[in-house]
Amino acid sequence: MPQLLAAELHRLGASKVVPANTGVAFEGGLETAYRACLWSRTASRILLPLTTVKAATPEQLYEEIRAIRWEKHLFSDGSFAVEVKSANATIGHSKYAALTVKDAVVDRFRERFDERPSVELESPDIRIHLQLRLDRARISLDLSGSSLHRRGYRVEGVLAPLKENLAAAILLEAGWPGIARNGGALLDPMCGSGTLLIEGALIAADIAPGLYRDYYGFLRWRRHDETLWQKLLEEAEQRRTAGVKQLPPIIGYDADPASLRASEENILRAGLEGHIKVSLQDLEQQLPEAPAEHGLIATNPPYGERLGEVQALRSLYSRIGELMHALPGWQLALFTANPELAAHVGLRGRKPLTLFNGPLECQLFRYDPAQTTAARGAESAQPAASASEGAQMFANRLRKNLKNLGKWARREGIDCYRLYDADLPEYALAIDLYQGDKLWAHVQEYQAPRTVDPDKAMQRLQEALAVLPEVLQIPREQIHFKVRRKQKGSAQYEKQADTRHFHEVREGNCRLLVNFTDYLDTGLFLDHRITRQMIEEEARDRHFLNLFAYTGAATVHAAVGGARTTTTVDMSNTYLEWARRNMALNGYRGQQHSFIQADCTRWLEQEAKRGKQRFDLIFLDPPTFSSSKRMEESFDIQRDHVSLIRNAMALLSPGGLLIFSNNFRRFKLDREALSGLNIEELSERTLPRDFARNPHIHRCWKIRAPA
């Protein structure tokens, strides 16, 4: 925010304004300093530098501080506080530095006046600010006294993730002052405690943000000019009285009654009752009506602290995009700490701005009506003319794939297939289509390498998600988006949401349940389509064992193929229950179909030692790596595959068949350690056409036991 603050200070009469990474330096008289405290909407503190001294040691700092004429700033019976900021300082302990400063100030007063000021942390007469860097210390007075984001209207104890000065910065960057001057309205569909609404009203009504504060760091300062201060307050009151008469509509909604009560209390304390309207309404259930022909939607939606929460919020962000479509002529400012969720808005916007909410890095996404219209066009046969050249290339590639792969899928009777797999490197997505009761698209973004500009990556993602409904001819509610980072072991199976919303799809003669929201994967690995068909063909009259079974799709194929018995083993009860449901969906119940919750590695080792069970057909598809809490030790496919295969072979009946596969791209089968086994690689033969661009998606072998 330094550039915003610099512009503010210029308007307030400051001279020699110099923005820096952590603040803005400026020059001006006492009136300029007072105006900055009263009128700055984006500043946190206003510091008055006194001097810079040497501070190589605590002793040197003490002497330098004691030499300052503190009696010019503070009465001997007054109060003060010390705040220290340190960066690579020779004096390493900031609390010790603060104590040193306190002792030096107190000792100076005691020696000269036989009286000492007291330390008051909350509302001292003056607050001394010490900036330590290397062997130097800059001493300033904090004229603001406390952070200027504390306007004085917020109810204490109410959760407020958005600071007031940050809310003002969001609105300023979104162009709210100009929108308000032209009669535009302000709408926050998830207003929480009302911070954006109140700051928007303060801006539009020309109300000084510091007008409600009852404490500043200069009010009991010995050099304070009370007459000047009262003059500035009177001017601010007059501007407020005139400004509130011209306020445009400012509307807020929220689904939480407690948040609305806090919002109403804050509005009352800000003196804006009757000027800001807030109502109980859930954005996911109902879109707000437009309070004016044009305006600004400004919102700070939840972003989720855990992965499951993030996935559950996708539909909420999609609703924000729908709201933009429902309000043509409006602009949108969306502030979030999770830019991945912003992609679900489905609009193309300007380059996002990075802003910090305390230590938390966040981004401001801004969209205008022209961009919304360009992203709309679901009824158009071609991307909007304003779409980028890259977006049009992406859309054209999708159409080409739909024509070619769609024809192949219909001919082969395939309902679920991969449509697009990073065909264009700039659009690094995997897009899978699932035909169930509706056509569903499951979109995963491959995590971009660090060499890729994150802003460009985000822009391309937004472009891709914007054209998908148009090309696929489906509403965006039927498009599910996730980010695929590098996963280890069972991480790909970890829960991300809890909707428990399943859809039935078909694969050959099998009916299977998929879930697009709760996990990174859907419950059906499409690259193993041919492998599962092979299992179905091999299963007749055989006893089948499915290890690391996941959702049991291979078990269903074995049962459909006529297996006499099936045994499904997985460590997750959740996935075993999913496997049971898949089997039941196809009419397979009873004791001949068993489900075992166990660490597959340990279970296989134990059963191999017991030597009592025999299977004719085993499917072994382990993860690359696993270190679950339920496991006694970690599993690594490259390290452990020999013992895993040997133990599986020990359970095979004479002439039985083990189908072994994995997805580790750098995997090397240790044929020397597996000497004596009849091994045939099937990797190329089990690679479906829709995964031809990614020939290393999995490796697969047949290993047959001696007859």
Kindly report the CATH number assigned to the domain that includes residue 61.
3.30.2130.30
Chain centre to alpha carbon of residue 642? 40
pLDDT confidence of residue 382: 40
- C-alpha–C-alpha distance, residues 407 and 401, integer Å: 9
User: Strand locations in 539-606, DSSP E?
Assistant: 543-547, 565-570, 593-597
Beta-bridge mates of residue 276 = 273
Q: In this predicted model, what pLDDT tens digit does every residue of 71-126 receive, in sequence order?
A: 999 999 999 999 999 888 888 788 889 999 999 999 999 999 999 999 999 999 99
Question: Is the Cβ–Cβ distance between 525 and 551 less than 8 Å?
Answer: no
Q: In this predicted model, what pLDDT tens digit does every residue of 636-684 receive, in sequence order?
A: 999 999 999 999 999 999 999 999 999 998 999 999 999 999 999 999 9
Residue 10 lies in a domain: no
Question: Is the Cβ–Cβ distance between 324 and 367 less than 8 Å?
Answer: yes
**What dihedral do alpha carbons 130, 133, 136, 142 form, nearest 10°?**
-20
Q: Which residues of the chain have pLDDT under 50?
A: 307-308, 370-386, 485-494, 496
Looking at the fold, whether 260 and 346 belong to one and the same domain comes out as yes
Looking at the fold, whether 525 and 660 belong to one and the same domain comes out as yes
Looking at the fold, whether 597 and 461 belong to one and the same domain comes out as no
Residue 26 lies in a domain: no
Using alpha carbons, select from 239, 60, 67 the residue that is nearest to residue 134. Answer: 60
pLDDT confidence of residue 346: 79
Q: Which residues contact 377 (CB under 8 A, 6 or more apart)?
A: 383, 384, 470
Question: Is the Cβ–Cβ distance between 206 and 242 less than 8 Å?
Answer: yes
- C-alpha–C-alpha distance, residues 45 and 26, integer Å: 13
Chain centre to alpha carbon of residue 337? 5
Looking at the fold, whether 137 and 177 belong to one and the same domain comes out as no
Q: How many CA atoms lie within 13 A of 347 on its CB side?
A: 28
Residue 350 lies in a domain: yes
Cα 468 to Cα 316, 344, 377, 398, 528: the distances in Å are 18, 12, 11, 8, 26
Handedness of CA 341, 342, 347, 350 (dihedral sign): negative
Exposed/middle/buried for residue 440 (C-beta within 10 Å: 0-12, 13-18, 19+): buried
Inter-residue long-range contacts of 536-544, CB under 8 Å, 24+ positions, other chains counted: 536/508, 536/509, 536/510, 536/560, 536/561, 537/561, 538/617, 538/657, 539/563, 539/617, 542/615, 542/616, 542/617, 543/567, 543/614, 543/615, 543/616, 543/617, 543/653, 544/615, 544/616, 544/617, 544/618, 544/619
Question: Is the Cβ–Cβ distance between 331 and 369 less than 8 Å?
Answer: yes
Question: Is the Cβ–Cβ distance between 268 and 197 less than 8 Å?
Answer: no
Residue 289 lies in a domain: yes
Total domains, the chain: 4
Give the residue carrying structure tokens 């690579």. Answer: 88
Of 446, 467, 493, which residue is a domain's last?
493
Of 341, 374, 407, which residue is a domain's last?
374
Q: Which residues contact 451 (CB under 8 A, 6 or more apart)?
A: none
Looking at the fold, whether 400 and 283 belong to one and the same domain comes out as no
Looking at the fold, whether 437 and 517 belong to one and the same domain comes out as no
Using alpha carbons, select from 453, 356, 336 the residue that is nearest to residue 21. Answer: 356
Residue 361 lies in a domain: yes
- C-alpha–C-alpha distance, residues 573 and 623, integer Å: 17
pLDDT confidence of residue 157: 53
pLDDT confidence of residue 459: 79
pLDDT confidence of residue 3: 84
Residue 503 lies in a domain: no
What is the helix (H) or strand (E) element at residue 645, kind and residue range?
helix 637-650
pLDDT confidence of residue 389: 86
The angle at the Cα of 274, spanning 272 to 278, to the nearest 5 degrees, equals 90
Q: 494 — alpha (psi -120 to 50), left (phi > 0) or beta?
A: beta
Question: Structure pTM?
Answer: 0.59
pLDDT confidence of residue 381: 34
DSSP annotation string for 262-284: HHHHHHHHTT-BTTBEEEE--TT
Q: What is the CATH number of the domain that holds 260?
A: 3.40.50.150
Domain carrying residue 422: 386-493
Query: Dmax of the chain from CA atoms?
Result: 105
Looking at the fold, whether 85 and 183 belong to one and the same domain comes out as no
- C-alpha–C-alpha distance, residues 435 and 430, integer Å: 17
**What dihedral do alpha carbons 245, 247, 249, 252 form, nearest 10°?**
-110
- C-alpha–C-alpha distance, residues 554 and 545, integer Å: 10
Give the residue carrying structure tokens 């009419």. Answer: 587
Residue 233 lies in a domain: no
Looking at the fold, whether 265 and 410 belong to one and the same domain comes out as no
Using alpha carbons, select from 484, 348, 473 the residue that is nearest to residue 422. Answer: 484
Of 374, 397, 428, which residue is a domain's last?
374
Q: What single DSSP character describes residue 212? A: T
Q: What is the CATH number of the domain that holds 446?
A: 3.30.750.80
Looking at the fold, whether 57 and 81 belong to one and the same domain comes out as yes
Q: Which residues contact 556 (CB under 8 A, 6 or more apart)?
A: 510, 511, 512, 582, 583, 586, 588
Which two three-digit tokens encode residue 358?
């305390």
Angle between helices 195-204 and 164-173 (to 10 degrees): 60
Percent helix / strand / coil, the chain, rounded to 5: 35, 25, 40
Looking at the fold, whether 396 and 459 belong to one and the same domain comes out as yes
Residue 21 lies in a domain: no
User: Strand locations in 416-470, DSSP E?
Assistant: 416-421, 429-435, 439-446
Looking at the fold, whether 199 and 258 belong to one and the same domain comes out as yes
Looking at the fold, whether 545 and 659 belong to one and the same domain comes out as yes
Using alpha carbons, select from 580, 566, 579, 676 the residue that is nearest to residue 617. Answer: 566
